[in-house]
Amino acid sequence: MKKNSLFLASIIGLALSGAVLILLIPGLFNSPGQGTLWMVSIMGVLVVLFAVGTRYWKTTT
């Protein structure tokens, strides 16, 4: 049961961090400041971490 809840949490985290990353990308082309670059970098790392977690905790059928 714990593996399923970790898998579900990683799917939700992947969806949310991916959505935020998509929303932050256009800001890079307007006037990329130091804060915008940091936020995009952090969200990119979170997307990768949640994707790895999703692959790790996926349920076998």
Q: Kindly list the domain boundaries of the chain, sorted by start residue.
A: 2-56
pLDDT computed for residue 50 by the predictor: 94
What is the reported pTM? 0.81
Using one digit for the tens of pLDDT, what is the confidence trace for 9-60?
999 999 999 999 999 888 888 876 777 888 889 999 999 999 999 998 887 6
pLDDT computed for residue 33 by the predictor: 74
Give how far Cα 49 sits from Cα of 8, 17, 61, Å.
14, 10, 23
Asked whether the beta carbons of 50 and 12 are under 8 A apart, the reply is no
